[in-house]
A = this chain, B = another copy of it.
Amino acid sequence: MKVLALAFPGFTFIDLAGPMQAFMMLPGFSSQIVWHSKGIVDSDAGVSVQATEDFGSCWKDPDILFVPGNSIHLFKQLQDDRTIDFIADVGSRAKWITSVCNGSLLLGAAGLLKGYKAASYWYTREHLSLFGAIPTDARYVIDRNRATGGGMTAGIDFGLAMVGQLAGEPVGRVAELAFEYAPQPPFGTGRPELADPATLAKTTEIVKQIMPVQELEGVRARRSTMGSSRGRPSVAALPIKVSSSFIRARRRVSNASWLVPQTVSTRNSLAFSSNS
């Protein structure tokens, strides 16, 4: 089972970790971590991983293509046609096309979710429809050979479900016990409809700053003028266009803190503390 996982700079660490920990249990598991170039790639959580391959050297026909998400760093990738073309190209041959969190926006921009039900991060979910996907309010969605997880921690549910899908339910059941996956969220606020109004308002305020969804229409328009790139990537066909609102948003956000706008010092206070 050849798993090819994209790791772009600033990707959300747990988005990668949940699925990989599960995929590792599949028969004949092997993996490649891929980026524009081989070497160290920083995640958003103070840990860097090794990209073992670049876009030219990696498997062209993996069993599983996996794409993680992030806030501002994901939106940066949505402006990078080399990344999107790469996903479209490998996605045209991969047996399974998968993502966690708003990584599904990258799959969508690559034209891989047209007519498919898909999950995403709660704040970005509805925007999947821009790319022809059917946004689905589920912890994970498996629609034919597209499998997408919801926000961040949904990667564990998604990964275990994929183990059950690919290796059989008895193996999935063993994997879940091996993972000791009997979660007890400490606060009970893990979805917008579960959160108290203050938590929802504060979180939405922060996320809104670092996930510039207003740029997605531009991504859709740009990709649609490029025609289909599936199977034949038009690498760097267009110069990377970075909107001014994206640049403003990026200035507010440090690499390590996807939730902490830079307008507030991250040294001694949290932007989302109770009294801010």
Give me the interface of A with B, judged by CB distance under 8 Å. Answer: 3, 5, 12-14, 16-18, 20-21, 23-31, 33, 40, 44-50, 52, 101, 121-122, 139, 150-154, 156-157, 160-161, 164, 167-192, 194-196, 198-200, 202-203, 206-207, 256-260, 266-270, 272-274
CB neighbours of A175 from chain B (8 A)? 259
Question: CA of A187 to CA of B189 in the docked complex: distance in angstroms?
Answer: 23
Name 9 A/B residue pairs within 8 A (Cβ), A-sorted: A17-B47, A25-B270, A27-B269, A47-B49, A170-B198, A173-B199, A174-B202, A176-B187, A181-B190
Which of A46, A184, A200, A269 has most B Cβ within 10 Å? A46
CB neighbours of A33 from chain B (8 A)? 46-48
CB neighbours of A152 from chain B (8 A)? 21, 178-181
Q: Would you call A50 and B45 a contact (CB within 8 A)?
A: no
Measured CB to CB, the closest approach of chain B to A255, in angstroms, equals 10
CB contact under 8 A between A160 and B186, given known A30-B46, A196-B173, A272-B171: yes
Which of A3, A13, A176 has most B Cβ within 10 Å? A176
CB contact under 8 A between A191 and B183, given known A46-B20, A47-B33, A174-B203: no
Q: Would you call B13 and A20 a contact (CB within 8 A)?
A: yes
- Which secondary structure characterizes the binding site on chain A? loop
Q: Would you call A179 and B203 a contact (CB within 8 A)?
A: no
Q: Would you call A182 and B21 a contact (CB within 8 A)?
A: no
Closest 4 CB pairs of A and B: A151-B180, A31-B46, A17-B17, A182-B190
Q: Would you call A14 and B156 a contact (CB within 8 A)?
A: yes
Q: Would you call A48 and B46 a contact (CB within 8 A)?
A: no
Q: Would you call A156 and B168 a contact (CB within 8 A)?
A: no
Question: CA of A30 to CA of B47 in the docked complex: distance in angstroms?
Answer: 10
Question: CA of A37 to CA of B221 in the docked complex: distance in angstroms?
Answer: 49
Q: Would you call A266 and B153 a contact (CB within 8 A)?
A: no
Contact among B45, B161, B180 for A186, CB-based, below 8 A: B161
CB neighbours of A49 from chain B (8 A)? 47-50
CB neighbours of A156 from chain B (8 A)? 14, 153, 156, 183
CB contact under 8 A between A273 and B160, given known A14-B21, A29-B46, A50-B49: no
